[in-house]
Structure 1
Amino acid sequence: MRLKAGIFVSAIVRRVFADGGMAAIERRGAEEAGAIFVRIRHRDGSESLAAPAPQTAFDSDHPDDRLFEFRKTRVPETEVSETIAREYRYDPDIWVLEIETDTPETYLDFSQD
């Protein structure tokens, strides 16, 4: 069974803070199963955006894992904001989590595709 979105997001926030970093929930989505987008702020002022990976990226042995893919990588903040706004218009139940890190793979599992 897949972990609820709200619990997953809370766990990431706690892990980032425990490592001395900064994390914030920018937008709360559906508690049970809202899609989670992660805005990653880098020290150089750029941002990346991690989004849910497509279903084809999931391992049949672990269908309940949460996998992410990069939609934007080290781009200006406005590009990430525009992408999130488009996603919100499509699905208003999304979560947007913001973290400051140069190593997002420490906190998120990324698809290998």
Structure 2
Amino acid sequence: MRLRTDIFVSALMRRVFARGDFAAVEAKGAEEAGAVFVRQVFRDGSESLHAPAPQSFFEAEESDRRLFETRLDRVEASAVGAAIDRERRFDSDLWVLTVETDDLGDLMDFGTAEPKDDGFFRR
């Protein structure tokens, strides 16, 4: 069973604060099952956008995990804002969490696409 989104976001924020970094909820979505987008802000003013990884990144036994993929990497803030606006038009129940840190380190799990024998990409 997957952890409720509001609890996941709260736990992620606590971990960010425990490291001495800053996080804030920019947009609150569905408390039980909203998608989480993480807007990473770097000291130089650039930003990255991390979004939920596609289901093809998951193995069957991993369906309760939250994996992320990087959609935009170290771009201008306006590009990240525009991408979030596009996503919100598609899914109004999504969460946007802004994290000010140069390194997400072990805060989030990222999926990486690797081709399998059936031709699909999975983590």
Instruction: State the 1:106 CA deviation.
Output: 2.1
Instruction: State the 1:61 CA deviation.
Output: 2.1
Question: For residues 70 and 62 of structure 1, what CA distance do their matches in structure 2 show?
Answer: 19
Question: For residues 105 and 78 of structure 2, what CA distance do their matches in structure 1 show?
Answer: 23
Q: How does 1:52-71 map to 2 (within 5 A)?
A: 52-71=52-71
What secondary structure is seen at the aligned counterpart in 2 of 1:74?
A: strand
The amino acid of 1:65's aligned partner reads: R
What do you get for the CA RMSD once the two structures are aligned? Answer: 0.8
Give the % identical residues: 56
Normalising by the residue count of structure 1, what TM-score does the alignment of the two structures yield?
A: 0.97
Match of 2:10 in 1: 10
Match of 1:38 in 2: 38
Normalising by the residue count of structure 2, what TM-score does the alignment of the two structures yield?
A: 0.89
The amino acid of 1:56's aligned partner reads: S
The amino acid of 2:25's aligned partner reads: I
Q: How does 1:1-113 map to 2 (within 5 A)?
A: 1-113=1-113
**1:7-37 CA-partner distances (Å, limit 9, x unpaired):** 0000011111111110000010000000000
Could you tell me which runs of 5 or more consecutive residues in structure 2 were left unpaired when the two chains were aligned: 114-123
Instruction: State the 1:52 CA deviation.
Output: 0.2
Task: Number of aligned residue pairs: give it.
Answer: 113
The amino acid of 1:12's aligned partner reads: L
Structure 1: 4+ residue segments shifted above 3 A: none
**1:60-99 CA-partner distances (Å, limit 9, x unpaired):** 2211100000000000000000000000011100000000
